[in-house]
Structure 1
Amino acid sequence: MKTSNDFLSTLNDVFALFGAIEAKRMFGGYGLYHQGVMLGLVSGNELFLKTDDESAQTFIEQELLPFEYSRDGGRVQLSYYAAPEVIFDDPEEAKEWAERAYEAALRSSSATRGK
């Protein structure tokens, strides 16, 4: 499914309390960036937020599904989980979930640089 420009525009409103985000085209979808750090991705009109070992359990407890795609006859799961619907109605919740994703992205980036 193709991502609509309306959906991308909506995300700026959703995350207004968190801060500016930028959508960059990648692999048939979009990466969502804040201050140069990728904290989410958009596939079709679905938003996925960055997770790591510290934050993934919060998404799992909410029964949110991970981002997966097909490759070489199998499934590949990335460290991004579907965003909860509540963020589209509650700016404070949106800010909290964006901060969680941003912090996971920073930790992941830091861990990668340390290798």
Structure 2
Amino acid sequence: MAVDEGLFAWVQEALEPLGTVTLRKMMGGATLYLDGTIFAILDEGELWLKADAETDTVWDAEGCEKFAVTFKDGRVDVMNYRRAPADVYDDAEALQRWGALAVEAGLRGAAKKRPRKSKAKP
């Protein structure tokens, strides 16, 4: 599946006031970064924004479903991304609000994954 380049261009344009959006293609979709912080994925022409336990109630209140992947063996993996509200596809201010929330979740997630100190070599 190809990445929706038009959607990516829209996200870059709309979020320009917040920073630089870059893309890394992965498994038929793409991971999006804002100034190096992961904040979204593109999959099958849809935008999924980063969420976490701190923001789940906000996403739930908006009715944004969780991103899930179903594997060939029937297993389902749910990830910490939420379907973007419909208004982000044509309203830059809405995308900036929701994008900022996603970046905050991305920053919190990155802080939890700080690299471990390596063992000193003799």
TM-score (norm 2): 0.84
**Larger Rg: 1 or 2?**
2
1-side partners of 2:60 and 2:10: how far apart? 25
CA RMSD of aligned residues (A): 1.8
Q: Choose 33-42 or 86-95, whichever is displaced more.
A: 86-95
Corresponding residue for residue 110 of structure 1: 111
Residues 67 and 81 in structure 1, CA contact (< 8 A), matched pair in contact too? yes
Query: CA offset at residue 36 of structure 1?
Result: 1.2
Cα distance per residue 1:55-80 (max 9 Å; x no partner): 12111111111111013321100000
Give the % identical residues: 26
Cα distance per residue 1:66-112 (max 9 Å; x no partner): 11101332110000001111122322221111111001011111122
1-side partners of 2:42 and 2:33: how far apart? 11
1-side partners of 2:64 and 2:34: how far apart? 22
Residues 18 and 94 in structure 1, CA contact (< 8 A), matched pair in contact too? no
| Aligned ranges 1:50-89 → 2 under 5 Å | 50-71=50-71, 72-89=73-90
How many equivalent residue pairs?
115
Corresponding residue for residue 41 of structure 2: 41
Cα distance per residue 1:20-77 (max 9 Å; x no partner): 2011101110000011111000001000000111012111111111111013321100
Corresponding residue for residue 94 of structure 1: 95
Instruction: Find out whether 1:13 has 2:13 as its counterpart.
Output: yes
2-side partners of 1:102 and 1:93: how far apart? 14
Residues 29 and 42 in structure 1, CA contact (< 8 A), matched pair in contact too? yes
What residue ranges of structure 1 are gaps of 5+ in the alignment?
A: none
Corresponding residue for residue 29 of structure 2: 29
Residues 19 and 35 in structure 2, CA contact (< 8 A), matched pair in contact too? no
2-side partners of 1:4 and 1:111: how far apart? 31
The amino acid of 1:43's aligned partner reads D
Residues 67 and 82 in structure 1, CA contact (< 8 A), matched pair in contact too? yes
- 4+ long deviations beyond 6 Å: none
> Which gives a bigger RCO, structure 1 or 2 (Cα 8 Å, sep 6+)?
1
